Structure 1
Amino acid sequence: MRAIVIHEYGNPDVLVEQEVSLPTCNENQVIVELHTGSVNPVDSNIRAGRVQEVFPVHTFPHVLGLDLAGIVREVGASVKHFKIGDRVFGLGSSGVYAEYAVAEEHQIAKLSPNHTFIEAGALPAVALTAWHSLFRFGELKVGERVLIHGGAGGVGHVAIQMAKLTGAYVIATASLRNHEFIRQLGADEVIDYANTDFSEEVRDVDMVLDFVVGLEQEKNCRVLKKGGRVVSIVTPAIADIAQAYGVEGKFVVVDPKRDELELIDQWVQEQKLKVHINEIFPLDESALRKAHRQIETKHTRGKLVIQIRN
């Protein structure tokens, strides 16, 4: 099958198109014929070798990518929830910059008939990360005040919508050009991070969601009320930092469940949740090099989708 792989760590030019063997699945997995996937910041970090201690590449060539949407073409002997021909979306186990991928049964869900592959391929990683940050780790409650950093980004723009669905008061940081976009998502307040120090504008929030590399965690801790919590996807040592300020810090590790994906699909169907598609790229080495360069600007609004089949 056709795939975009890396043979070594490096800049986006290490992404090359290559024929690779079709994947095989074990008894608890399925093989999905991919229609769409997406490019996430973690993909570029893995490609560049920046996160080897967390996401090491054990063998090259290596296929990158997490998000998938497509049709089940093979099921393992112990798989109970899916059959050949089912439309599904979720996270892949074998990399998704390819025509086929393997997925664990618990990491995918059936796709509603009118939920498009384009939208479904953009959602899983960001929606699950937002979900876990807000609810499993953050334990968000109705009426709480939450500060969301990187509100226009992939995870951030989904987290704003989820927080508002839960009845939270949302403050988000974003560049000035994204303020109207953030307000349309439901944010109650928007802070221009380029020209304003958020720690001088925000006080007594219940939770901070840290989705941006390089933020001063001490500032995040200082804007929290007593007993507040900062939830981070980028700072593993957040618990120790937060403890010094008398608040709680939690580092998010996403462990997806099928029922979470099913609820996300339901929210899309009910038009309560929408993923913003920034650009769609074909499964082509030059296109995905461009997508990686775009994601590394850290100024991408929403998601970059890979269209593998029409």
Structure 2
Amino acid sequence: MRAITIQEYGNPDVLRGEQVAVPSYNDNQVLVELYATSVNPVDCNIRAGVVQEVFPVHSFPHILGLDLAGVVKEVGTAVTQFKQGDRVFGLGSTGTYAEYAVAEEDQLAKLSSTITFQEAGALPAVALTAWHSLFHYGELKEGQRVLIHGGAGGVGHVAIQMAKRAGAYVMTTARASNHKFVRSLGADEVIDYTSVDFSEAARDVDIVFDFIMGIDQQKNSNVLKQGGRIVSIVTPSIEDIVKAYGVEGKFVVVNPKREELEQIEGWLQEQSLKAYINEAYPLAEEALRMAHTRIETKHTRGKLVIQIRE
């Protein structure tokens, strides 16, 4: 099968197009013929070797990619929820920059024919991350005030929609060119981080969602009301860092369930959750290098999708 691999850690130039074997699967797994996946910032961090403690690559060549959307090709003998030919989406156990990937049965959900593979392939990782950040770690409740950093990005643009659905008052940071976009998603208040210090503009916040590396955690702490918390997907030591400022910090570890993917699929069907697809790239070496370079600017709106099959 065709796949995009890395032979070593490095910049986007280490991405290589190769012919590799179709992955094998066990009794509890599903082999999926992929139609779409997407590029996430964590893919770039794994490729660069900067998150080896959390996401180690055990052997090269290595196929990147988390998200998958496609059609079930084969199932393990213990699989009961899926059969050959089912449209599915979810997270891969093997890399998804490829024509086929393996997934655990409980990390897949069936996909309605009304939802495109591109939209489904854009969402699993960011939607599950937003869900767990908001509700498992943030314990978000109706009427609370939340600050979402990077609201126009992959996780951010989904988190805004989920927070609004839950009845929160949503503040977000975004450059001026993205203000209209994030307001269309439901943001109540937008802070232009290029010209305004967010710690002076935001006040009485219940939960800060920290999705961007490098933000001053003292400033995050300063915007919180008493009893508020910071939830981070980029700072593993967040709990210890913010303890000095007298606030609670939580680092997000996503342990997805099929029921959550099914709920996300339901929201997609009723169009109360949408994935903004910035651009679709083919499964090709140079295209993926371009996509990784673009993601690393940290100014991508929405998601970059990889179209594997039509």
Match of 1:7 in 2: 7
CA displacement at 1:74 relative to structure 2: 0.8
* Partner Cα separation in structure 1 for residue 108 and residue 291 of structure 2: 25
Q: Could you state the TM-score of these two structures normalised by the residue count of structure 1?
A: 0.99
Match of 2:205 in 1: 205
Match of 1:305 in 2: 305
2:23 matches 1:16: no
Match of 2:91 in 1: 91
* Partner Cα separation in structure 2 for residue 8 and residue 237 of structure 1: 27
Q: Could you state the TM-score of these two structures normalised by the residue count of structure 2?
A: 0.99
Partner amino acid, structure 2, of 1:283: L
Residues 6 and 15, structure 1, Cα contact 8 Å, conserved in 2: yes
* Partner Cα separation in structure 2 for residue 140 and residue 227 of structure 1: 13
CA displacement at 1:131 relative to structure 2: 0.3
Match of 1:25 in 2: 25
* Partner Cα separation in structure 2 for residue 218 and residue 110 of structure 1: 43
Q: Which runs of structure 2 are paired with 1:124-203 in the superposition (5 Å)?
A: 124-203=124-203
Number of aligned residue pairs: 310
Match of 1:66 in 2: 66
* Partner Cα separation in structure 2 for residue 307 and residue 262 of structure 1: 23
Partner amino acid, structure 1, of 2:145: R
Match of 2:237 in 1: 237
Listed as ranges, the gaps of 5+ residues in structure 1 are none
CA displacement at 1:104 relative to structure 2: 0.6
Identity %: 73
Q: What are the superposed Cα offsets for residues 123-142 of structure 1, whole Å, 9 maximum, x if unpaired?
A: 00000000000001111000
* Partner Cα separation in structure 1 for residue 291 and residue 21 of structure 2: 25
Q: Partner of 1:59: helix, strand, or coil?
A: coil
Instruction: Judge which range, 135-144 or 233-242, deviates more.
Output: 233-242
Residues 227 and 246, structure 1, Cα contact 8 Å, conserved in 2: no
Q: What are the superposed Cα offsets for residues 3-50 of structure 1, whole Å, 9 maximum, x if unpaired?
A: 110101111111111110111111111000000000000001111111
CA displacement at 1:284 relative to structure 2: 0.3
Match of 2:102 in 1: 102
* Partner Cα separation in structure 2 for residue 255 and residue 275 of structure 1: 21
Partner amino acid, structure 1, of 2:258: R
Q: What are the superposed Cα offsets for residues 73-100 of structure 1, whole Å, 9 maximum, x if unpaired?
A: 1111111111111100000011001000
Match of 1:224 in 2: 224
Residues 27 and 78, structure 1, Cα contact 8 Å, conserved in 2: yes
Q: What are the superposed Cα offsets for residues 253-302 of structure 1, whole Å, 9 maximum, x if unpaired?
A: 11111000100010111110101000000000000000000000000000
Q: RMSD over aligned Cα, in angstroms?
A: 0.7
Match of 2:214 in 1: 214
Instruction: Judge which range, 182-191 or 243-252, deviates more.
Output: 243-252
Partner amino acid, structure 2, of 1:18: E
Instruction: Judge which range, 49-58 or 298-307, deviates more.
Output: 49-58
* Partner Cα separation in structure 2 for residue 284 and residue 163 of structure 1: 36
Q: Partner of 1:177: helix, strand, or coil?
A: helix
Listed as ranges, the gaps of 5+ residues in structure 2 are none
